[in-house]
Structure formats: C-alpha cells, structure tokens
Amino acid sequence: MIAFLSRLFARAPPRLADAGPGDAASFAEIHAASFRRGWSESEFERLLTERSVLAHRASAGSACVGFIVSRIAADEAEILSIAVATARRGRGLGRLLLDRHLRQLAGLGVRRVFLEVEGANTSAMRLYARLGFGTVGERRDYYAKSAGAATAAIVLRRELG
C-alpha cells in the first residue's frame, strides 16, 4: 500500500506552495546539487525568516523538488535563486515556479524584477527569455571556471503589469 502510494505521488504533478524557514534543509540540498557554491541550511533559514523575502517550493509527495526565492525592496525584486532537483529538470517545473512567483510578486505591488545569471547557463537563459526577461547588463569574465576561460554574468530584467 505504501509503495503504491509513493509511486502514485511520484507520478503526480508537483504542487506549488509558499515556503518558509521549515524548508531550509531541502532547499540547501537542492541548491548544493545545483551550484558550485551551495548555500547552507542556516543561510537558507536566515533568508527565509526575512520579511522582505518571498519563496515558493514545489513538492512531489513529501519530497521538495524545486524552489525559488526573491527579495523585495520597494517596487522592485531580485530573484536570489531558483533550482529544480536534477531528476525533475526539463519538464516545465522551473517555468511553473517562476511564473507563479512572478504573479505573486505582481500582486504584492512589485513592478520590476531583476536577476543575474551565468551567460553559459543555457537552460536558465531559455527559461528567463520564455518568461519575458530581457538583458540590461553584462559583467564580463565574472564567473571563474574550474578550467578554461571565465564566463560572463548577465543581468536580466522583467517589467511586471
């Protein structure tokens, strides 16, 4: 019965919900698997306690499979991080998370959203372009590569409403 229910939940589409400090451990785990420098559980805990921070998580059954976090300042927001669990990528979850997050930011009175992304991060660049972000700046050679040349950081902006 338990095995049947886990299989059922594994196939069910992920559910999106507001996130808080209780999600710090699962966010840190996905973050560590997604970025060269992972953020610790306590870093996430501090972040998710801030009043100006908005966060969503995607869950499949009891497992967290993705998240997005931004910080709001007046009528602007910055996306601080978005990541989807490796096994769940390429199935529209990043788009779902970002879309839901942007709608909620707009509802809170945010007019402009910024973020910074490594230019060589093709999936992230496609995701942001699809959701209406445009390039407003570039920092050349910003991200050091373990081998070979450094890559640029691209600053993107999306106007809301």
Ligand X SMILES: CC(C)(COP(=O)(O)OP(=O)(O)OC[C@H]1O[C@@H](n2cnc3c(N)ncnc32)[C@H](O)[C@@H]1OP(=O)(O)O)[C@@H](O)C(=O)NCCC(=O)NCCS
Interface residue with ligand X among 84, 113, 154, 160 (CB under 6 A) is 84
Interface residue with ligand X among 71, 95, 100, 112 (CB under 6 A) is 95
Interface residue with ligand X among 104, 121, 135, 151 (CB under 6 A) is 121
User: Which residue number, 27 or 109, has a Cβ lying nearer to ligand X?
Assistant: 27
Mention every residue, 6+ apart, whose C-beta is less than 8 A from residue 142.
118, 150, 151, 152, 153
Mention every residue, 6+ apart, whose C-beta is less than 8 A from residue 30.
64, 65, 66, 67, 83, 84, 85
Minimal CB distance residue for ligand X: 94
Mention every residue, 6+ apart, whose C-beta is less than 8 A from residue 84.
30, 34, 58, 65, 66, 93, 94, 97
64 interacts with ligand X by CB under 6 A: no
User: Which residue number, 5 or 87, has a Cβ lying nearer to ligand X?
Assistant: 87
Q: Which stretch binds ligand X (CB under 6 A): 17-25, 48-56, 70-78, 126-134?
A: 126-134
Tokens of 11: 């196939």
Q: Which residues pair with 113 in a beta bridge?
A: 77, 158
Q: Which stretch binds ligand X (CB under 6 A): 5-13, 122-130, 135-143, 145-153?
A: 122-130
CB-CB contact of 47 with 80 (8 Å): yes
SS3 149: coil
Tokens 């902006």 correspond to what residue?
Answer: 157
User: Which residue number, 98 or 160, has a Cβ lying nearer to ligand X?
Assistant: 98
Interface residue with ligand X among 93, 110, 113, 160 (CB under 6 A) is 93
Interface residue with ligand X among 89, 100, 112, 157 (CB under 6 A) is 89
Closest CA to 110 of 62, 53, 153: 53
46 interacts with ligand X by CB under 6 A: no
Task: Please report, as ranges, the residues that interact with ligand X according to CB under 6 A.
Answer: 34, 82-84, 89-95, 117, 121-124, 126-127, 130
